[in-house]
């Protein structure tokens, strides 16, 4: 995806903040929500204002 700048930008454009994402999961009827892992994406060519702000989150939840 990084080779195709448009695809990479589209992916980020649809991203949610972590708290909003977890709230959507809760509103969808899931409980026992926990963040299993977080991975920050950083690259040397990334704009300074994005550094440390792009995060991949792995979540565990149980459907009620």
For the chain, give the mean pLDDT.
85
What is the model's pLDDT at position 62? 98
What is the model's pLDDT at position 10? 63
What is the model's pLDDT at position 7? 62
Closest CA to 43 of 6, 8, 7: 8
Domains contained in the chain, number:
1
Would 59 be classed as within a structural domain?
A: yes
Q: Which two tokens stand for residue 60?
A: 């565990």
Would 4 be classed as within a structural domain?
A: no
Question: C-alpha distances in angstroms, 59 versus 23, 26, 31, 46, 49?
Answer: 12, 12, 11, 26, 26
Would 6 be classed as within a structural domain?
A: no
Mean pLDDT, to the nearest integer, of 4-27? 82
Each residue of 38-57: pLDDT tens digit?
Answer: 998 887 877 888 788 888 89
Name the residue range of residue 23's domain: 16-63
CB 40 within 8 A of CB 52: yes
What is the model's pLDDT at position 2? 52
């Amino acid at each position: 995806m990084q080779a195709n700048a448009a695809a990479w930008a589209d992916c980020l454009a649809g991203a949610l903040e972590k708290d909003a994402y977890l709230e959507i999961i809760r509103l969808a009827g899931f409980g026992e929500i926990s963040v299993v892992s977080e991975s920050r994406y950083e690259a040397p060519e990334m704009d300074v204002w994005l550094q440390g702000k792009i995060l991949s989150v792995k979540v565990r939840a149980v459907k009620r």
